[in-house]
Amino acid sequence: MIVYGIKDPPPLYRILRVLGTLLIIAGIVLVLSPLGWVAYTAMAVGPTQTAALAAWERAATPAGPAQNPAAGMVVTIPRLDLRRFVPEGATPDHLRRFGVGRITWTALPASPGLLGIAGHRTTYGAPFFRLDTLRRGDAIFIDYNGRRYRYAVMESQVVRPEQMEVLAAPAGVRGIALVTCTPAYSAAYRLVVLGTLRGVSDSPAP
Amino acid sequence: MASLMRGVRIASIPLAQGVTTFSPTPPPPPPPGPPILPIIGILLPILIAAPILVAQPTPPPEAVAPAPTPVATPGVAVSPVDPGALGTPVTPVVQPAARVTPIVLPAVPRAIATPAAEPLAQAVRAAPRILPSRQVLPYGGANLWMPFAGGLGLISLGMVLRRLAGPP
């Protein structure tokens, strides 16, 4: 008959037990760290994005936001219930502060080519978390320089990070490309949602 | 009927034998350490739903601009703005050559964008665009699965060590 708790276990076993407990605690902390990182970055980017969007709309006078001192544009995607201020430059700093950014070497809305906008998928407010749910025909609005550009989603592509040719539009084509990481919680590939320009109108008053 | 009764009687014999021969030995002690499957079952949905839970609030409805009135633009087929509409009829897309729009370099503030600078901006923008050779598409995500998988590995290793150490 085995009776537990009468004899103390050998020191090696006690060390193993303590070490195992420490590893379990460290593992739980490590497992929870992505959750904390997502929450922390969302709280960090939220006020900055909200303030930038408010400043952009305040500057959008009836004469148009051409006099807007803050260079940038606003992207609105109704299906995603998304409206974000897009600063010039998808630099790491801009992506950390605003969650999104315009890829500077891509075309502007008023010029031929693809307008490239990159955004975070899971962190920093996760503006493009549901980007993969966009379907063909979904509308994307860009408010820029006093005009509203309406794009329609055409297709989605999953490419490798170095496949930048996906942002090189054929001659004469005016479109938009929304870029984010995929799959979620990984930066192995890029999800690119491509759309074409459908119309241009006066930018609505804020 | 007779065969049915005989079947019941025969089936009851092993049950009675099983009861009489039930071993009184105590059940084995529960395995040490927390079960890993419930931990994964709890933490994984939380991690997946985290971006939704902590997503930024959507601007209030009054902050969202109303749908604009389409304005005809030469060379561009304009269709009424219909946010979220599926299956919008495809209109002829773009006639880029017919549309002349002043182009502004993004880095130049509007206050110092003099008229003399506009042709330069147009010339720069009109030049053949050469893609950077050693650049990647902007980093828009994070490899959050790495610490998650590493944490699960540590938990598993810790449980194995505690199991090797035996019961307390």
pLDDT tens per residue, range B29-77: 555 555 666 666 766 666 666 666 656 554 443 334 444 444 444 444 4
d(CA A184, CA B80): 34
Spatial distance between the Cα atoms of A114 and A108, rounded to a whole number of angstroms: 8
User: What's the confidence (pLDDT) of residue B98?
Assistant: 45
The answer to whether residues A173 and A113 touch, using CB atoms and an 8 Å cutoff, is yes
pLDDT tens digit sequence for A25-60: 999 999 999 888 888 888 888 888 889 888 888 876
Q: Residue B112: which pLDDT band, with cuts at 50, 70 and 90?
A: very low
Per-residue pLDDT reduced to its tens digit, A54-94: 888 887 655 544 445 457 899 999 999 999 999 988 888 88
Q: Which domain holds residue A124?
A: 42-202
Q: Cβ of B36 under 8 Å from any chain A Cβ?
A: no
Angle at A148 between CA A143 and CA A150, to 5 degrees: 110
Residues A110-149: pLDDT tens digits? 889 999 999 998 888 889 999 999 999 999 999 998 889 9
Closest CB to B69 among A29, A66, A201: A201
- What single letter denotes the amino acid at residue A136? R
Give the number of other CB atoms < 10 A from CB of residue A202: 13
How deeply is A116 buried, as exposed, middle or buried, from its count of CB atoms within 10 A (0-12, 13-18, 19+)?
A: buried
A193 located within any domain: yes
- Give me the CATH number covering residue A95: 2.40.260.10
Distance CA B163, CA B30 (A): 11
Check B56 against A42: CB less than 8 A apart. yes
- As for the ipTM of the complex, it is 0.70
CB A167 within 8 A of CB B138: no
Note which residues in 46-105 of chain B have CB less than 8 A from chain A. Answer: 46-48, 50-52, 54-59, 63-71, 73, 76-79, 81-88, 90-91, 93-94, 96-97, 101-104
Q: Give the integer Cα–Cα distance in Å for A135 and A130.
A: 11
Residue A2: pLDDT over 60:
no
Task: Please indicate if any CB of chain A lies within 8 Å of the CB of B113.
Answer: no
Residues A167-172: contacts with CB under 8 Å, at least 24 apart:
A167/A103, A167/A106, A167/A114, A167/A116, A167/A192, A167/B131, A167/B137, A168/A114, A168/B129, A168/B131, A169/A107, A169/A112, A169/A113, A169/A114, A171/A112, A172/A112, A172/B94, A172/B96, A172/B97
Name the residue among A99, A139, A172 with its Cβ closest to that of B83.
A139
Does any domain span residue A170? yes
pLDDT above 60 (res A195) = yes
In a domain, residue A21? The reply is: no
Task: Look at B70 and A186 and tell me if their CB atoms are within 8 Å.
Answer: no
Nearest to A139 among B82, B125, B163 (CB): B82
In a domain, A119, yes or no: yes
Chain A residues with beta carbon closer than 8 angstroms to that of B34: 24
Whether residue A131 is contained in a domain is answered as: yes
Whether A185 and B144 have beta carbons less than 8 Å apart is answered as yes
Q: Do A21 and B81 touch (CB under 8 A)?
A: no
**Cβ-Cβ contacts under 8 Å, A69 against chain B:** 109-111
Find the CB nearest B83 among A54, A78, A185: A78
Interface test with B, best of A56, A153, A185 (most B CBs within 10 A): A185
How far, in Å, CA of A57 to CA of A51, rounded? Answer: 10
Q: Which pair of tokens denotes residue A86?
A: 């897009």
Quote the minimal CA–CA distance from B2 to chain A in Å: 49
| Tally of structural domains, chain A | 1
pLDDT confidence band for B127 (50 / 70 / 90):
very low
The pLDDT mean for chain A works out to 86
- Asked if the peptide bond before residue A183 counts as cis, ω within 30 degrees of 0, the response is yes
pLDDT of residue B103: 47
Cα dihedral sign for A101, A106, A112, A115? Answer: negative
Would you state the pLDDT for residue A134?
94
Residue B21 corresponds to which tokens in the numbers above?
């021969």
DSSP 8-state class, residue A172:
T
On whether residue A19 sits in a domain, the answer given is: no
- Specify the pTM: 0.61
Preferred mutation among B25, B103, B130, B144 to probe A, highest tally of A CBs within 10 A: B144
Give the residue from chain A lying closest to B135, CA to CA. A162
Residue A32, in any domain of the structure: no
- Start-to-end C-alpha separation, chain A: 81
State the DSSP string of B99-119: -------TTS-GGG--TTHHH
Q: Has residue A135 been placed in a domain?
A: yes
Classify residue B98 as exposed, middle or buried by CB count within 10 Å of its CB (0-12, 13-18, 19+).
Answer: exposed
Spatial neighbors of B113 by CB under 8 A, at least 6 apart, are B104, B105, B121
